[in-house]
Structure 1
Amino acid sequence: MSEDEEEYEYGTISDEEIEDDGEALVLSRIHYDLTTLQKIKRIGFWALYIMAFYYFASMNSGYLNFLEVIGIERVESRVKFLMGLLILVVCGNIAGPIAGGVGALLGDLVYQLSAIKTVRPEYLLIAVLIGAGSGIFRFNKDETLKQMKVMKLFYSLVGISIVSLGIMFLIAWIRYPGLSLESEIGKALQFNYIQFFFSELLTYLFFGPLLIALLDRVLRWASNPEGIAYRFFFTHHYEEQADHAIPLDFGGYQFFVCTRCSGTVSGIIFMVFIDYSMLQFFGYEIIHPTVALILCIVFTLPALADWGTQKMQYRTSNDVIRLITGMFLGAAIHLLVLAVEQHVIAVIIILAVSFTAFFTMFFLGNRKIKRFIMDRMKKREIHDEDDLN
């Protein structure tokens, strides 16, 4: 190792490497030309998030009421605000038609199977139509508002709503051959389908484009002229440590977030999704509190070890490890909630030990970094004095 090099968090580095421009490091993290495999991965991740978000939103709306009245010879449905459909419009417009359609298919399929233990094909097709159709005029920082592309989204939503009404009646005629609209079932279906049609219009016709326009304004405010949003609140790292953050592409806006924290949030989302969908399907909690406690301990250790050894300057990590350990940590957080029902004392002990280990490594790691910086400053002072002499 040469005299002007030191061991630091990212390995052996020199003075010149330490003084590298943070903006250059941020730019190096952005990949505009994605390979086919990277594009497939991005679509897959978006589809999974849309699936989970749609499921949670549908749980807390009047969607279940429409699913339950199919084939019932009475009028029960009324106009509802269907939050799940709004999620499909916004997320589908951001992620694109493939991710939107696949996410809608998975989300609606899981919700119907867990909620009513069967599948209503008309509503499944409508969900896919909305998710995929919303992404045709995909969100883009240079077109959505500047070229009023958002109005194309509005008109496409009008068309989607009309087509969805046709899908419902088509499936009804397939399900009930020779169905008369004057029969009791025919009248009930007419009323319920029309109520769903107006629910669609109420939910996303105006709110969808409005939220997309609002998103564009927020991202434009948070970004620099090149469309890069690097905010310390979301990354927890300065630009000189941009390799700890990953960019999320929102229609050309590159929004940076902390890698491990994004993994943790993802772990919480998907663990809650699995837990709630299984609870709704089986009618009882499938993860026993004792099992949850054991898994919580096991899932916490990788994140603590990866972050701790990095903080203590023993090694460096990478995006994949940070994301995976973060997801395990997120899953552990939800499992901790399940475990506390029967193991309060054990949960308190786990939290105490985890936070003690965290703050100990945080303190020692910061002290090591501070000592490194002080040594570096002293070397530079000596070097400057030698130059003067």
Structure 2
Amino acid sequence: MSTQKPEHSSSPIQPEKRIRMLMLVTLIFVLAGLIWTAWWFLRGQYRIETNDAYVSGNITPVNDQTAGTIRKVLVENTEFVNAGQVMATLQANRSQLALQQAGAHLAATVRQVRKDFAKVTALQQTVSAKNAELHKLSSDLIRYKQSLPSGAISAIRIEDTQNEIAAATAQVAAEQAALKGTQAIVAGTTLQTNPLVRQAAAQFEQADIQWQRRVVRAPISGYVAERAAYPGLMVHPGQRLFSVVPLNDLWVVANVKETAMRHVRPGQRVQLTSDYYGGDVHYHGKVLGLLPGAGSAFSILPPEDASGNYIHIVERVPVRIALPAAELAKHPLRPGLSMVAEIHWTPSQKRSVLKPLTTIPVRGYQTAIYSGELRRAQQHAAAIIGDNT
């Protein structure tokens, strides 16, 4: 007698259990929808997000300002330099020769003007002597004419005296003209304030400044980048040798679609995230202002919409966003890094886009490394003038 084993099969899910699972899944979806809806009405609709943003900053070029050959390079890329620190020096032979030539010209001009001052005195004495001689001849002529009837003086003597008076008068006029010409050069001036001396001094000061600029200095404090200076390289004025980037004054430029720009106003809060640190680090910025034009308007080749081949695309408007100094010091950034910007706005923010919050530093963008050049050049010129006085 054979026995048959009962067939084992998975028992079907009971209808009640299936209904409970369906209700649970439905409840989860409903709750998720309610949460998303609440988030959207409370916050989501008041946020503008763009990943077309990047860090920007002041990249200061350090250009050569005098012709010469680089003799020594003293800094390297990524190195920190202080304002006024020597970055390179030039073997500026042409500047040195121009300075020597200008110095010699200044010395010669001072001596020439001294000669003009002395010439004025000499001409004044000459005019006085000629006038005295003319006065004597005029007095003699009067006496001769009085003595003519008695026969003591001949008519020829009177005629000769008249000729001598005419010649003396012409000489006085010539000397007076020469005196006026020389006085026009020196009248109303001193040796230091004479126009000829000041012109020569200005030429010398210009040459001296060019000579001083054979030393290339950092205009501001920051990090060195784009080093293009090498020993033996011949350089000319305007050629870029370095770039200096200060990392304590950075901002973010976010390119926002024009369809969302109606909600963007200066003063709005912005949450910034950088790929440099990942999603764990957030910066809390603020909208400073909107650039006065879409990005395409400032491109090298702006669009020509009247060409007939116009294709409508959504433009982006650059928005300047401030970075807090404390957060920037804790998590330093670099110009050019990508950012994700999330602008938070509320209907109550009615600030005009024509009233930006953008400001410059308290002392402005400036450098003081050139402030002493003219003073030193003037001191050198004064020394040359003094040596030749």
TM-score normalised by the chain length of structure 2: 0.21
Structure with higher strand content: 2
Structure with higher helix content: 1
Task: Name which one, 1 or 2, has greater alpha-carbon Rg.
Answer: 2
TM-score normalised by the chain length of structure 1: 0.21
User: Which structure is higher in RCO with an 8 Å CA cutoff and minimum separation 6?
Assistant: 2
